[in-house]
Amino acid sequence: MTALPEQPDLIIEARWIAPVVPAGQVLEHHALVIHAERIVALLTQEQSRQLHPRQRRSLPHHLLIPGLVNAHGHAAMTLFRGLADDLPLMTWLQEHIWPAEARWVTPDFVRCGSQLAIAEMLLGGTTCFADMYFYPEVTAQVAREAGMRAQVAFPIIDNPIPGAANSDEAIHKGLKLHDEMRHNDLISVAFGPHAPYTVGDEALTRVRTLADELDIPIHMHIHETAGEVSDAVAASGQRPLQRLADLGLLGPRLQAVHMTQVDDADLALLQAHAVQVIHCPESNLKLASGFCPVQRLLDAGINVALGTDGAASNNDLDLLGELRTAALLAKACSGQPTALDADTALHMATLGGAQALGLSEQIGSLEAGKAADVIAVDLSGVAQQPVYHPVSQLLYTGSAALVSDVWVAGREKVRDRQLIALPLERVLNEASVWAPQILQGDSHES
């Protein structure tokens, strides 16, 4: 064992620690030792008392787990939360969201919406998020200011909303952002071709070539609805995933968001190319898009991560709530109560997410050497008693409200349920000006 620093930056003592690796392990009365942004050891509380840290936190009723990874969303869309509910995907997008984006989305809109999303995500225990939205450089800047980890995908869409960049411009701008963020520990950049039905072969081929050359992930909505697949088959005779395979896009750096339509041939493609699947159960339920066959994918050895999607189709960014939905839905879809058990679910929201984003060497588990992205969940509430199995209790009774403390790279972002990363009052004030304008703008038009 390497020598521990005599005076580590921080020791967090907790009633339970679920490090995720080894799978299923829960340590009782242990302590996490953190120094220079990293985890340096997991000790018994008694052993940890030999050390004299700069700061010691004692969390006697809490479960410590790795920070949650929200592997798909559109942060700035918090400002469209509740604008258009109870609609199918294409009506929602074409008649409500895309017109609203054409009218309202500016860098300042993205700044205000991203701040609101980051505040909500941190308070709910998400320490890393993957985003796909206009002005990704603005979302990246807000994440940097808050000290939150993010993968921002620059959107590529061939028939863009008015005012948005065309795919050539988008790729050019994206590569510039990728270059600027190259040495940033918290922010990474991905290609974000929106979906098979909005991006043509030429742009996708360029994306594939550049992604291979520069080792950049590709983040894309794929097989979100049955209509997406049947329209493509009617038009070209091919399912979208097969088309992407023919264009050479399938591989471990492809992040396939949604995948509610998976036939045997799709499953074989995902498996053979080690594609990352990102499951967004609540958005899929709300838009009645379909059900991702999570347990079938996991049984085939395919990595599955978890995402909320945007707040306009969810309508919250609570990843613990999402995890509970995912676990219950997996059982209902497979007819197996054993599907997506508590330990597997926790893996999906942490290390599975990290792996999907290519960050599993840095984050996703509480192991010496990894960045100290850690959250504490308070299990002392009425609805959590008694605690036989802390991870099950987290999964089946959990929500953002249980998260008490959050650290990203060893820096405190939430303490005793209070946000430290950003000034919440300012975030709320700046967000509050948009909805009245958007509502008024809508009514003038109609």
Ligand X SMILES: CSC[C@H]1O[C@@H](n2cnc3c(O)ncnc32)[C@H](O)[C@@H]1O
Binding residues for substrate: 101, 194, 224, 309
Q: Which is nearer to Zn ion, 9 or 309 (CB)?
A: 309
Q: How far apart are the C-alpha atoms of 39 and 33, rounded to whole Å? A: 6
Q: Which is nearer to ligand X, 194 or 413 (CB)?
A: 194
User: In this structure, are residues 210 and 191 in contact, taking their beta carbons and an 8 Å threshold?
Assistant: yes
Cβ-contact 256, 193 below 8 angstroms: no
The Cα–Cα gap between 218 and 208 comes to: 8
Question: Rounded to 10 degrees, what is the CA torsion of 181, 410, 255, 131?
Answer: -60
CB of 101 to ligand X, least distance (A): 5
**Cα separation, 134 vs 87, whole angstroms:** 23
Task: Give the residue with the Cβ less far from ligand X, 313 or 315.
Answer: 313
Closest distance to ligand X from the beta carbon of 100 (Å)? 9
Which candidate, 359, 364, 365, 373, places its Cα nearest to that of 188?
359
Q: Which residues bind ligand X (CB under 6 A)?
A: 74, 89, 93, 97, 101, 132-134, 155, 157, 194-195, 221, 224, 283, 309-310, 313
Q: Which residue has the tokens 């509610």?
A: 260
**How many Å from the N-terminal Cα to the C-terminal Cα in the chain?**
69
Query: Smallest distance from the beta carbon of 257 to Zn ion, in angstroms?
Result: 6
| Binding residue numbers | 72, 74, 101, 194, 221, 224, 309
**Residue 399 near which of ligand X, Zn ion, none (CB within 5-8 Å, type-dependent):** none
66 interface partner picked from Zn ion, ligand X, none, CB below 5 to 8 A per type: none
Q: Which of 13, 309, 318, 343 binds Zn ion (CB under 5 A)?
A: 309
Could you tell me which residues are annotated as the binding site for Zn(2+)? 72, 74, 221, 309
Please, what is the minimum distance in Å from the beta carbon of residue 313 to ligand X?
5
Angle at 41 between CA 37 and CA 44, to 5 degrees: 135
Choose between 199 and 371: whose C-beta lies nearer to ligand X.
Answer: 199
Contact 303, 69 (CB under 8 A): no
Residue nearest to ligand X (CB): 155
Beta strand 418-419 pairing with 411-415: antiparallel
Please report how close the Cβ of residue 258 comes to Zn ion at its closest, in angstroms. 8
402-330-92 Cα angle (round to 5)? 80
Q: Which is nearer to Zn ion, 190 or 342 (CB)?
A: 190
Task: Report in angstroms how near the CB of residue 146 gets to ligand X at its nearest.
Answer: 21
Q: Which range binds Zn ion by CB under 5 A, 148-156, 240-248, 303-311, 432-440?
A: 303-311
Q: Least separation, in Å, of the C-beta of 337 and Zn ion?
A: 30
How far apart CA 397 and CA 342 sit, in angstroms, is 11
- Only one of the segments 211-219, 306-314, 356-364, 371-379 lies at the binding site for Zn ion (rule: CB under 5 A); that segment is 306-314
Nearer to ligand X, 313 or 399 (CB): 313
d(CA 166, CA 313): 25
194 binds, among Zn ion, ligand X, none (CB under 5 to 8 A by kind): ligand X
Distance CA 170, CA 216 (A): 15
User: How many Å apart are CA 446 and CA 441, to the nearest integer?
Assistant: 9
- How far is Cα 252 from Cα 277, in angstroms, rounded to an integer? 10
**Which one, 132 or 377, has the nearer CB to ligand X?**
132
Rounded to whole angstroms, what are the CA distances from 70 to 224, 379, 397? Answer: 18, 22, 19
Q: The tokens of 229 are what?
A: 């697949």
User: Of all residues in this chain, which one has the CB nearest to Zn ion in the complex?
Assistant: 309
Residue closer to ligand X by CB (options 192, 398) is 192
Minimum distance from residue 369 beta carbon to Zn ion (Å): 33
Give the residues lining the site for Zn ion (CB under 5 A). Answer: 309
